[in-house]
Chain A
Amino acid sequence: MRSGKANAMRAGWSRGIIELRHMLSTPQDLWTFFFFTAILLAVTIFMRGSTVEGTSFSLGSMTLPSILGMSIASGGLTNLTQMLTVEREDGTLLRAKAVPDGMLGYLVGKVVLVSGLTLVNIAALLIPGLFLFSGIATGGVGSWLTFAWVLALGLAACLPLGAILGSMFSNPRMMGLIMFPIMGAVGISGIFYPTSALPEWLQGIAQVLPIYWLGLGMRSALLPDGLSAVEIGHSWRHLETLGVLGLWAAFGLTVAPIVLRRMARRESGSSVAARREKAMQRVT
């Protein structure tokens, strides 16, 4: 007999793939999903003409990897948070609870789905970027290895955080409250504007958050080594990147199961019905 857990992980994998297919074949989802991606790409194209201060390197080429880093963080965080709150309200989670090992399958499915979406998103930015910008990924295999570990570690750091936030907010309309801090974090994390140019206390905050390190990690992977000169400490600081992202991942992977289990335990038909009732009252 195959164990229920192993079976559910496999079911979760196919669940994630099926839902990814659903999203990629629904025009409305594609639009909301890629609208932002298209805007980001347009922004970098406008920046193509300018150069990084003190060098002759294109500002557009510099910004593209930072945006990749940001997309990993915000995609992992907001997508998962939003899906969890919405699917708690519509009863998907309760359904998962009614099925043996369904919660495990559900979670694996969500991780596969959100990781898949992030990969698609990154490909949609990176592939045109490789043609549009010069000086990207000139380091060969080394570039792509760094790219791979930063991406993997970034997802491991951000997905559990998304799961934690998603279990804490039961109302999908609270998402706005989560978006503002995330936008603030993007602002100070050196994605569009170098963190080194900010006051020191802001630099301190930025360097606690995962977005800064994801941006830095992506720049270190895809940009020529010489550009590390404009970073804080004039270095790519791989060890620190590994450390901070690793700590976030460890924190998330420890706390997420506890929070998720607590949330799942509370899920019941009446709680779903009560949330729906509230939602209806807001509409009318």
Chain B
Amino acid sequence: MTVIEEPDSATRRIRPPEDDTVLDVRDLQMRYGSTDVLTGVTFAARRGEVLGLLGPNGAGKTTTIEILEGFRMRSAGEVSVLGIDPAQGDEAWRARLGVVLQSWRDHGKWRVRELLAHLGTYYTPYATGGARGPWDPDELVSAVGLTEHAHKRVGRLSGGQRRRLDVAIGIVGRPELLFLDEPTVGFDPEARREFHDLVHRLSDDEDTTILLTTHDLDEAEKLADRIVILAGGAIIADGSADELSRRMSTEAEIKWTRDGQRFVHSTLDSTKFVHDLFRQYGEAIGDLEVRRASLEDTYVAMVREHEAGRGTAAVRKFEGATR
């Protein structure tokens, strides 16, 4: 078994476990047959935090989430979910989790509201023991925008409607911790916006901790308080979207006009460049615009850099800087 060197793992272990740490993953490893999918994944999430897990296809996002949900046995590493090892999680623990997997097509004959009401009943006995008890089915149906289809058969829903139902089922027990594996695949722009509102509402009003994966980086930037990028079996970056783009020192794009002419310039040090620009031309500068790299730019740069073999160096540089 290989032990991936974590430059800061020593400091982390010494740090007393914070009370509001909901999710704590240390050196998680997973091997399918002879392929190592996860070689040493380490990250954590605090209560109420929205964590975006990004990574290329096949990076192991679903695998990681399924291990945290207790659906899959890990090969090695320490995992604590709501203070409990998922491999030993009991039903009371499960009642505090919400799960939206990457794809379902179950319960085709059930009606939307009927199914939500039924699944909600399983949570009632746990309402007093930490979990918060189920949503009212009508409220829930309306929260995911399915009121019109409340009495439709699940099998007759469109792809996006079906996905909304999946999200509804995931939160029916008012989970403390919600796992969303590519929740918005197939959503139209309006549904996407409604979903984003719902996620904000869950994390702000209900203090729900959310771990979500998505390939939509705008979405990740909008929703996630913090981004973790998984590539090559390990976390290659961990921080807010802003921190990541600063850390990657990706070039910012600066646009301005002078004497009616438009100029564009890309640079690593935008502050200094703008300063020099004004010193040189003063009030002749107009329409100044500085665009920092988007999360997508940062993400692509990071994954590329990682694939080019300089990944480990980037992790060190980055982690050293944030801690």
A and B are interacting partners: yes
Point out residues on A near B: beta carbons under 8 Å. Answer: 1-4, 6-8, 10-11, 14-15, 18-19, 22-23, 26, 87, 90-92, 94-95, 97-102, 105, 267-270, 272-273, 276
Of all A-B residue pairs in the complex, the 9 with the closest CB atoms, nearest first, are A92-B106, A100-B95, A268-B71, A100-B91, A269-B101, A91-B106, A98-B99, A22-B109, A91-B104
Given A100-B94, A270-B63, 14 extra CB contacts under 8 A: A4-B95, A90-B105, A90-B106, A92-B106, A94-B101, A94-B104, A95-B107, A98-B69, A100-B91, A100-B95, A100-B131, A268-B71, A269-B102, A273-B103
Task: Report A6 CB to chain B, min CB distance, Å.
Answer: 8
Query: Are A4 and B125 in contact (CB-based, < 8 A)?
Result: yes
Query: Can you pick out 7 interface pairs between chain A and chain B where the beta carbons lie within 8 Å of each other?
Result: A1-B129, A11-B121, A100-B92, A100-B123, A269-B66, A270-B63, A272-B103
In Å, the complex CA distance between A51 and B91 comes to: 59
Point out residues on B near A: beta carbons under 8 Å. Answer: 62-63, 66, 69, 71-72, 91-92, 94-95, 97, 99, 101-110, 114, 118-119, 121-126, 128-129, 131, 169, 173, 181
Task: Report B274 CB to chain A, min CB distance, Å.
Answer: 48
Partner of B121, one of A7, A26, A87, A268: A7
Which among A87, A100, A102 has the highest number of chain B CB atoms within 10 Å?
A100
Query: Are A92 and B122 in contact (CB-based, < 8 A)?
Result: no
Return chain A residues, CB-CB under 8 Å to B95.
Answer: 4, 100
In Å, the complex CA distance between A26 and B153 comes to: 12
Partner of A19, one of B106, B109, B131, B181: B109
In Å, the complex CA distance between A69 and B99 comes to: 43
Partner of B169, one of A2, A6, A95, A270: A95
Q: A4-B92, A100-B92, A270-B62 are in contact. Are A18 and B118 (CB under 8 A)?
A: yes
Query: Are A270 and B66 in contact (CB-based, < 8 A)?
Result: yes
Partner of A98, one of B94, B103, B108, B129: B94
In Å, the complex CA distance between A10 and B102 comes to: 30
Return chain A residues, CB-CB under 8 Å to B169.
Answer: 95
Task: Report B59 CB to chain A, min CB distance, Å.
Answer: 14
Return chain B residues, CB-CB under 8 Å to A101.
Answer: 91, 122
Number of A-B contacts (CB under 8 A): 101
Query: Are B72 and A270 in contact (CB-based, < 8 A)?
Result: yes
Return chain B residues, CB-CB under 8 Å to A7.
Answer: 121-122, 124-125
In Å, the complex CA distance between A19 and B114 comes to: 11
Task: Report A195 CB to chain B, min CB distance, Å.
Answer: 40
Task: Report B171 CB to chain A, min CB distance, Å.
Answer: 12
Query: Are B107 and A92 in contact (CB-based, < 8 A)?
Result: yes
In Å, the complex CA distance between A101 and B63 comes to: 23
Q: A4-B91, A99-B122, A100-B126 are in contact. Are A269 and B62 (CB under 8 A)?
A: yes
Identity of the chain A residue whose Cβ is nearest the Cβ of B63 in the assembled complex = A270
Task: Report B22 CB to chain A, min CB distance, Å.
Answer: 18
Return chain A residues, CB-CB under 8 Å to B105.
Answer: 90-91, 276
Partner of A273, one of B102, B110, B123, B173: B102
Identity of the chain B residue whose Cβ is nearest the Cβ of A10 in the assembled complex = B121
In Å, the complex CA distance between A105 and B6 comes to: 44
Query: Are B122 and A105 in contact (CB-based, < 8 A)?
Result: yes
Identity of the chain A residue whose Cβ is nearest the Cβ of B65 in the assembled complex = A269
In Å, the complex CA distance between A6 and B91 comes to: 13
In Å, the complex CA distance between A234 and B153 comes to: 54
Return chain A residues, CB-CB under 8 Å to B108.
Answer: 90
Return chain B residues, CB-CB under 8 Å to A105.
Answer: 122
Q: A269-B66, A273-B103 are in contact. Are A100 and B173 (CB under 8 A)?
A: yes
In Å, the complex CA distance between A90 and B109 comes to: 12
Identity of the chain A residue whose Cβ is nearest the Cβ of B90 in the assembled complex = A100
Which among A4, A91, A102 has the highest number of chain B CB atoms within 10 Å?
A4
Return chain B residues, CB-CB under 8 Å to A22.
Answer: 109-110
Return chain B residues, CB-CB under 8 Å to A6.
Answer: 125
Task: Report A145 CB to chain B, min CB distance, Å.
Answer: 36
In Å, the complex CA distance between A268 and B74 comes to: 13
Query: Are B118 and A14 in contact (CB-based, < 8 A)?
Result: yes
Query: Are B110 and A18 in contact (CB-based, < 8 A)?
Result: yes
Task: Report B118 CB to chain A, min CB distance, Å.
Answer: 6
In Å, the complex CA distance between A72 and B94 comes to: 37
In Å, the complex CA distance between A6 and B124 comes to: 12
Identity of the chain B residue whose Cβ is nearest the Cβ of A273 in the assembled complex = B103
Which among B92, B109, B122 has the highest number of chain A CB atoms within 10 Å?
B122
In Å, the complex CA distance between A243 and B121 comes to: 40
Task: Report B180 CB to chain A, min CB distance, Å.
Answer: 13
Q: A1-B128, A269-B101 are in contact. Are A102 and B122 (CB under 8 A)?
A: yes
Return chain B residues, CB-CB under 8 Å to A4.
Answer: 91-92, 95, 122, 125-126
In Å, the complex CA distance between A43 and B96 comes to: 55
Identity of the chain A residue whose Cβ is nearest the Cβ of B103 in the assembled complex = A273
Return chain A residues, CB-CB under 8 Å to B131.
Answer: 100
Return chain B residues, CB-CB under 8 Å to A267.
Answer: 71
Which among A3, A7, A87, A98 has the highest number of chain B CB atoms within 10 Å?
A98
Query: Are A87 and B92 in contact (CB-based, < 8 A)?
Result: no
Return chain B residues, CB-CB under 8 Å to A10.
Answer: 121
In Å, the complex CA distance between A152 and B69 comes to: 39
In Å, the complex CA distance between A45 and B119 comes to: 45
Task: Report A254 CB to chain B, min CB distance, Å.
Answer: 23
Return chain B residues, CB-CB under 8 Å to A276.
Answer: 103, 105
Return chain B residues, CB-CB under 8 Å to A90.
Answer: 104-106, 108
In Å, the complex CA distance between A11 and B172 comes to: 15
In Å, the complex CA distance between A65 and B108 comes to: 36
